[in-house]
Each structure stands twice: as C-alpha cells, then as structure tokens.
Amino acid sequence: MQNFDVFFYYSFSCSILLTYGIGLEKAFFDSRPDSRFIARAPGILAEMILSVVAVYLLDTRVLFHPDFRVLVPMSTVFVCALVQTLVSLVNPSGMRDISTGERIFYFGTVFLAVSEGGSLPDALIIAVASVIAFYCASILLFSVRQRIASATVPVDWKGAPLILASMGLLAIVMHSADISWWIQEVYR
Amino acid sequence: MKKITVVFLFALCPLIPVSARFAYGLILAVAMCWYLVAGILVRELVKRLDIGATGPTIELVSLALSATAFYLALSAYSPVNSVSLGLYIFITAFSYLILLGIDTFSPDDAVAVPLLQVVPVLLFFSALREILGFGTISLPVPDGLRLIEILPGFSGYGLGFWGTTGGALILLSFLAWTIKYLHRRIATFRRNL
C-alpha cells in the first residue's frame, strides 16, 4: 500500500512536471501532432531505470560514506550520459534525435528520484511514476491541441497562450487529488 | 515574435515552481549569469583543447561543477535559501543549456541573447507573482527571506492562487497572449503607415 501511495503521489498529486517543473517544455513540444513521443517511451523508461539503479548505488555505497556529497551532481550527469550512450549503442535509431529538453527531463528525473527516494525501490517507483505523469500530461495536451485546431478561437489565443492556460488547468486538476474528500476516504 | 514566445517557454522550467518569491527569482537570475560566465570560460577551454566528440560531455560535467560551486556559495551565504532552492539550482543549469543551444556544440551557435532576455523576464515574473500571490516583495538574506509589504491588508482580499503552479501557468498564458496581441497590433499599424 505504501508503494502505491508513493506511486500515486508522484504520478498525480506531486508530479515531477507540475510541482518541480521538470519536463514542462518537453511536454509542450512533444504534444505537437508530428512528435514521436510515444515511440520514445521504452527507451526513456529503460534509460531511467538503469540510471536510477546506477546513480543510487554509486551515491549510497561510495559517495555518501566518505562524504563526497558535493560530487553527486557531477556523478549523476556523468552516469546518465554514460547510460544514454550505452542505450544508444543498443538502439541507435531510437536515440538519434535526443533533444536538450529530453536530457533535462531525464537528468532531472534521475536526480529527483535518487534524492527523494528513501530506498532503491522508492527511487525506482518515483522515476517510473514521473515518466507516467509526463506521458499522461503529454497525451492530455495532445488532445487539447487537436481540439484547438478544429475549434474557432481568437487568433491571439491560438498556440502558446491557450496551451499554457490548459497546462494551468491541468495543474489544478492534478493537485485536486490532494484535497478531494473521496480520495481521502479511499485511503482511509 | 516567435523568438520571444519561445524564450518564455524555455524559461518555464525554473520559472514555474520557484518563482512564487522574488528572492528566489533573484537567486536563480544570479545563477544564470554565473553559468553564462563559467560556460564561456569552459567552452573556450574545450575549443582550445580540441577534444572533439567528448566536448559536450565535458561541458555538461563542468556545468554541474559550476552549479555545485554556486550551491556551496549560496549555502555559505544563506543556508536556509540553499535548502529551499536545492534541486532548482541544478535544474536552472539545465535550462541554461537549452537557452544557450549547447547541444549543437558549435561556438558560433552559442548566442547569449535568449539568456539575457530570460533574466529580466524571470525577475519581472517572480515580482508580479509575489505581489499578486502574497502582497509582498521578498529579498534574500542570510536568515532566509526579508519580506517587504507592498499591498497592505492582503490577507483580507488577496488571492493566493497566483502563487501556485496552476496560477503561474495561467498568468504566463495571459503574458504570452499580451505579447502576441501587441505584436499583431504593432505589425498592423506599421503596415498601414
């Protein structure tokens, strides 16, 4: 139940996208009609899981003991870049067009999962929940974009302004789980 | 026009969660400027060493190192603020990467203009959010934040909603709309001249 609680919390109530702002710009650009964000999902998930395991073990077994905590950000970036290179060797076609936005989402998620996860399973759950939160938001924004394309909206509202407003409403909806009495009842 | 909107969007990542307070916006703006100075130095070094394909990775690790240096300096000045911002110091470093177009790894593409546009946007947006959301303006001090009351009696009529993520995104959408609207009106006016 506790694992489910952590998963739900990082997928919706405290999603990486809307609470920490990690991957916001990626969700914005990936929700465009011509994007390949669904095709990239297995690669991102594989990178994420491998990196979280590697960074968590490196941090807890090596860097925390002699208290080399200042090296954690550099080692995280280094390990993530290494894992990304390894995954790109296994699947070169899927990894050709990695954007900077995706790197930020990837590095940021690994960094957050390792720093907030109390144990390795917790860190893995946070990473997976973050990827799910990102994909949920991207799919919802994709639908919003489709509705906007076929709707009659004032020209100045088309594009970025309306998508930003939609993201704002999405943030309110995601956080509503925290204050909904029926969810509290379910947990009780 | 597209450039300005894109700068807005690129700045989203650090803007949204922490820009509810002007003090945090100010610290992140200083961090951005520090990354720019450190980034130019590292880029110059990498260029001179001519190390080819490993260059971007070295730049990334150097950026993480400069973020750590900034974090340590902030911890020494104000431990409370360093704890509050923590992760965002590093997230800002990644946003800096987007703004500088570092992944093309060509010194010719390293244009500092978007970064210099984001700094005033970050400061303006965080000040606006704090005034609308809390009725105050905060400044970073060693003990945390020093609050200066701008709207007296805010707790009676103020709307804290603008301090939340949802409020910030909706506020940003109004700003993006205003820019788009003004740009269109100015373009129409110039055409009619």
Domain residue spans in chain A? 2-187
For chain A, where are the alpha helices, taking DSSP H only? 2-8, 24-30, 41-58, 72-90, 100-116, 120-150, 160-179, 181-187
| Chain A contacts in chain B segment 61-90 (CB below 8 A) | 61, 63-65, 67-68, 71-72, 87, 90
Which chain B residues contact residue A176 at CB under 8 A?
none
CB contact (8 A) between residue A167 and residue B15: no
The residue-averaged pLDDT of A98-120 equals: 81
CB contact (8 A) between residue A25 and residue B90: no
What is this structure's pTM? 0.79
Question: What's the burial of B148, exposed, middle or buried (CB within 10 Å: 0-12/13-18/19+)?
Answer: exposed
* pLDDT tens per residue, range A158-185: 888 888 888 888 888 877 666 556 655 6
| Chain A contacts in chain B segment 142-171 (CB below 8 A) | 164-170
| C-alpha separations of B161 from A13, A22, A174, B171 in Å | 17, 21, 15, 10
d(CA A122, CA B49): 42
Residue ranges of domains in chain B: 2-192
The residue-averaged pLDDT of B178-189 equals: 87
User: Which residue in A103, A156, A171 is closest to B177 by CB distance?
Assistant: A156
What proportion of chain A, given as a percentage, has pLDDT over 70? 87
- Regarding an ipTM greater than 0.85, the answer is no
Check whether B104 has a pLDDT greater than 70: no
